[in-house]
Structures are given as structure tokens and as C-alpha cells.
């Protein structure tokens, strides 16, 4: 399964009004999890089994809750039992389709 999520504290983590330092702590947990993952400007996507993905999401929320009274979570899941390698596989299939259309 793939889970794309965004997590942020409700209050700025530093005097600049940025939540970047707090979010960095959460992303460090994702990277330490050992699950395949990718972070972009809007979401972090992790790939694995339900329980291990949700454990990572929960730990990210928990680390932000340590410094903020409220945490925002946006989550989207692609649940496909038995499939692995989809973090890259979905993109590879999309790029191939784009190339086929460009060649047509």
C-alpha cells in the first residue's frame, strides 16, 4: 500500500513563523523507518503494509504533538494487497504512457 500524508503543527515551531523544523523531525522518523518513501513539496509517501505505514504516520503526529497543542494530518491511501514497488512503479507506468502519446 501507498500512503501519502502531510502533517504539520498548528502553531509555528520557531520565531520565524515556520513549521519547517517541526516537519523535519517528522520526516526524519519516516526516513528512519526503513520503509520506501519519498517527500515532495506537498506530501510524504510511504510504502508498506497497513500497520507499518500507519505506525509511521502516528509517530509523526506524536512527535509534532510534543511541541504543538494541535496537529493537522491529511492522508490518502492506495490499498492494493500483494503489490510492492508501487512508489516507483506507478510513476514508471505514467512516464511510459506519456511517451507513447508523444510518439503517436
User: The CATH number of the domain where 72 resides is what?
Assistant: 3.30.70.930
How much of the chain is helix, strand and coil, in % rounded to 5? 45, 20, 35
Q: Counting Cβ atoms within 10 Å, is residue 98 exposed (0-12), middle (13-18) or buried (19+)? A: exposed
The C-alpha atoms of residue 72 and residue 27 are separated, in whole angstroms, by 15
Digit-coded pLDDT (tens) for 56-87: 999 999 999 998 889 999 999 999 988 999 99
CB 9 within 8 A of CB 22: yes
Give the domain extent around 60. 2-103
Instruction: Calculate the alpha carbon distances from 97 to 28, 59, 89, 90 in Å.
Output: 34, 37, 12, 11
Digit-coded pLDDT (tens) for 10-38: 876 555 567 888 899 999 999 999 999 99
**pLDDT (0 to 100) of residue 13:** 54
Number of domains in the chain: 1
Amino acid at each position: 500500500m501507498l500512503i501519502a500524508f502531510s502533517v504539520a503543527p498548528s502553531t509555528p515551531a520557531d520565531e520565524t513563523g515556520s513549521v519547517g523544523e517541526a516537519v523535519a523531525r517528522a520526516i526524519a522518523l519516516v526516513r528512519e523507518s526503513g520503509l520506501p518513501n519519498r517527500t515532495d513539496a506537498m506530501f510524504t509517501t510511504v510504502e508498506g503494509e497497513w500497520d507499518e505505514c500507519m505506525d509511521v504516520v502516528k509517530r509523526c503526529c506524536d512527535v509534532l504533538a510534543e511541541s504543538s497543542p494541535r496537529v493537522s494530518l491529511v492522508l490518502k491511501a492506495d490499498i492494493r494487497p500483494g503489490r510492492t514497488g508501487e512508489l516507483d512503479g506507478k510513476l514508471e507506468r505514467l512516464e511510459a504512457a506519456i511517451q507513447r502519446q508523444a510518439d503517436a
